Structure 1
Amino acid sequence: MQRTDFGTMACSIARTLNVIGEPWSPLILRDVWVGLTRFDQLQADLGISRKVLTERLNHLIDHGVLDRRPYDRRPRYEYVLTEKGTELIDLLMVMVGWGDKWLAGEAGPPVLYRHHACGEISSVDLRCAHCGEPMHADDVDVMAGPGAAV
């Protein structure tokens, strides 16, 4: 079965899903972000097959989200986030907020985040880049942009 190429759609959500829209990719990015950078570490943490992990890592490298760097002469590699990949972590942090609110249950969030600037435990809060006010779905109008399909 051929997978749909969302990358050709005139939609930024579809294009993003083309890069990280299957379940393993966000989990791989999460693991690399928290310091699990070697293949065996990723495989052990995720319980993913070597074949699938190799495919996902290659996909993320091909899309410029991860870099592969040798760490010994065999060669063995570690995986690091690129600038593009680090910005995707921001998206994952928004997903964390939703999951913590709607899916964490009575036990509460499985992970907390301490903000470097103030030292406090916090969460992501979407704000307008122009005025700084909170920005949620009910606060915006969606309009065609310069890259919209004709």
Structure 2
Amino acid sequence: MQRTSLTSDECPIARSLDQVGEWWSILIMRDALHGLRRFDEFSRSLGIAPNMLTRRLNALVEAGMLERRPYSEHPPRYEYVPTAKGEDFRVVLLSLVAWGNRHYAQEGASVEIVERDTARPLVPMMVDAVDGRVVPWDACTLQAGPAASPGMRQRMGAMVHPDTSGAEGS
């Protein structure tokens, strides 16, 4: 069965999932952002079948998340290095770590997000793009952007925005 492509979907979540939504891709990006570069390193870390690893690496290169660079001519060997787009995926992975720890680590966190220099714990947050102030998650919402189609504007307008004051709906 052919998978539906979401590349032309207007929703940024759908478009993003079209590129990296397959779980092997996310785990490969996790390892690449943690410093793994070579096919055998990914294979050892993930226990993934070679043909699947080849497909996922090729897809991540095609998506612009990884760059394929030769490191040996005889025999030809390549390493896979995160691009700027791939580096930007780090925030997604860190958010998944925080979310997974909060909801699925009943025994305690096996991986924590910490500041490199101090080892102090960190949490994902939203920051105002204009003045740099931290905005609490419950004060964030989505709205139609400047390039939104009429259909997207209608979808965004129909979304229910939770009332965080404790009162019932609006």
TM-score by length of 2: 0.80
C-alpha contact (below 8 Å) 1:125/1:134 kept by paired residues: no
Which residue matches 1:140? Answer: 140
Which residue matches 1:42? Answer: 42
How many residue pairs align between the two structures? 147
1:40 CA displacement: 0.9
Which residue matches 2:161? Answer: none
C-alpha contact (below 8 Å) 1:112/1:121 kept by paired residues: no
C-alpha contact (below 8 Å) 1:32/1:80 kept by paired residues: yes
1:60 CA displacement: 0.6
Distance in 1 (CA, whole Å) between partners of 2:99 and 2:2 is 31
Query: After superposition, what is the alpha-carbon deviation per residue over 1:4-38, rounded to whole angstroms, capped at 9, x for unaligned?
Result: 11111001111110111011111001111112211
Which residue matches 1:86? Answer: 87
Q: 1:122 and 2:121 equivalent?
A: yes
Q: Structure 1 residues 82, 120: CA separation in 2 closer, same or farther (over 3 Å shift)? A: same
RMSD between superposed Cα atoms in Å: 1.5
Provide structure 1 residue ranges, at least 5 long, that are not aligned to the other structure. Answer: none
Distance in 2 (CA, whole Å) between partners of 1:46 and 1:13 is 25
Q: For CA contacts below 8 A with separation 6 or more, give which structure has more relative contact order.
A: 1
Identical positions, percent: 41
Which residue matches 1:32? Answer: 32
Distance in 2 (CA, whole Å) between partners of 1:51 and 1:124 is 36
Which residue matches 1:17? Answer: 17
